[in-house]
């Protein structure tokens, strides 16, 4: 049976991230989870297999802590979870990640479709999906709002800035999906319990022979501080104050 692979990333929960007064970033108290955008990628793969009868599986890449993500991923509908284990993932950029995922996908049987999020929840660099297509030698389609699978091709609706575009792409291919097109399901207790019994497979990155060396290196990380413009309207008459406020908003381009 053909397989659909949903790729995902294990990331710190945004609510647990703390930004210090010096803009330092502290993730020590953040719990880790499957990225919110990646949960939509898993949902897209599961929906597609429900319509096609193909087999949904998941694929992720990371250190020892990532193993605990497999149960959550499988509770969302896939039949098997693959984990490429490596302690180099923390330094990996989009190039390295796509090479590793492509090497892993090549070891799986009869993969006809790989689904990724449009971008990762932590960086949103939007690099892995298109690069994965290049590494696999498959066409890649980004900004995917919906799609239907045929025998040898997929009909894909893309959401662009001010329009929808429908394209047909040959299989196998890589699709990068938008979260608004695929609302992730919330696993129930039965699905969570069933996930414990589903097969999980560890793949050592060293065995794949993929180049994990990044070309981009993170040299610093700090929180973003937005400089807000404060406007004080010293006017007792509410009508006059309202007119001055509207005029100021027009001037700043907030109102047109």
The model's pTM = 0.84
Q: Contact 144/156 with Cβ under 8 angstroms? A: yes
Tokens at 21, concatenated? 């007064």
User: Kind and range of the H or E element at 142?
Assistant: strand 140-149
Quick one: 197 and 76 in the same domain? yes
Q: For the segment 175-198, what is each residue's pLDDT rounded down to a tens digit? A: 999 999 999 999 999 999 999 999
Work out the mean pLDDT of the chain and round it to a whole number. 93
Quick one: 58 and 135 in the same domain? yes
The share of the chain scoring above pLDDT 70, in percent, equals 100
Length of the chain: 256
Quick one: 192 and 250 in the same domain? no
Please confirm whether the linkage preceding 215 is cis (ω < 30° from 0).
Answer: no
- How many structural domains compose the chain? 2
Quick one: 122 and 199 in the same domain? yes
Does residue 218 lie within any of the structural domains? no
Does residue 221 lie within any of the structural domains? no
- Tell which phi-psi region holds residue 23, choosing left (phi > 0), alpha (psi between -120 and 50) or beta: left
What is the pLDDT at residue 21? 82
Q: For the segment 120-150, what is each residue's pLDDT rounded down to a tens digit? A: 988 899 999 999 999 999 999 999 999 999 9
- Residue 19's domain is classified under what CATH number? 3.40.50.620
Residue keyed to tokens 């025998």: 151
Quick one: 27 and 87 in the same domain? yes
What is the pLDDT at residue 6? 98
Q: For the segment 157-169, what is each residue's pLDDT rounded down to a tens digit? A: 999 988 999 999 9
What is the pLDDT at residue 30? 87
The total of other beta-carbon atoms located within 10 Å of residue 167's CB is: 14
Please list, in sequence order, all residues whose beta carbon lies within 8 angstroms of the beta carbon of residue 94, skipping any fewer than 6 positions away: 125, 127, 128, 131, 216
Q: For the segment 14-62, what is each residue's pLDDT rounded down to a tens digit? A: 888 888 888 888 888 889 999 999 999 999 999 999 989 999 999 999 9
Quick one: 46 and 160 in the same domain? yes
Instruction: State which residues form the domain around 248.
Output: 226-255
176 - beta bridge partners? 116
Whole-angstrom distance, CA of residue 201 vs CA of residue 70: 9
Whole-angstrom distance, CA of residue 200 vs CA of residue 79: 9
Q: For the segment 208-254, what is each residue's pLDDT rounded down to a tens digit? A: 999 998 888 888 888 877 777 777 888 888 888 888 888 888 888 77
Sign of CA dihedral 96, 100, 103, 108: negative
């Amino acid at each position: 049976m053909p397989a659909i692979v949903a790729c995902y990333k294990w990331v710190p929960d945004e609510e647990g991230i703390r930004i210090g007064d010096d803009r330092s970033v502290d993730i020590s108290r953040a719990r880790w989870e499957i990225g919110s955008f990646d949960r939509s990628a898993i949902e897209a793969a599961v929906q597609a297999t429900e319509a096609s009868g193909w087999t949904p599986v998941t694929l992720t890449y990371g250190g020892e802590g990532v193993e605990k993500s497999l149960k959550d991923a499988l509770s969302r509908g896939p039949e098997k979870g693959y984990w490429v284990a490596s302690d180099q993932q923390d330094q990996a950029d989009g190039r390295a990640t796509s090479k590793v995922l492509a090497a892993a996908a090549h070891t799986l049987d009869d993969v006809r479709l790989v689904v990724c999020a449009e971008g990762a929840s932590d960086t949103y660099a939007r690099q892995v999906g298109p690069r994965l297509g290049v590494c696999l030698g498959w066409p890649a389609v980004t900004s995917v709002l919906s799609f239907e699978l045929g025998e040898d091709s997929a009909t894909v609706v893309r959401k662009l800035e001010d329009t929808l575009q429908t394209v047909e792409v040959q299989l196998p291919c890589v699709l990068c999906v938008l979260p608004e097109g695929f609302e992730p399901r919330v696993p129930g207790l039965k699905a969570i319990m069933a996930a414990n019994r589903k097969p999980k497979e560890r793949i050592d990155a060293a065995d794949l022979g993929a180049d994990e060396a990044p070309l981009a290196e993170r040299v610093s990380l700090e929180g973003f501080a937005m400089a807000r413009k404060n406007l004080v309207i010293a006017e007792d008459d509410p009508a006059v104050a309202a007119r001055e406020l509207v005029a100021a908003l027009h001037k700043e381009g907030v109102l047109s």
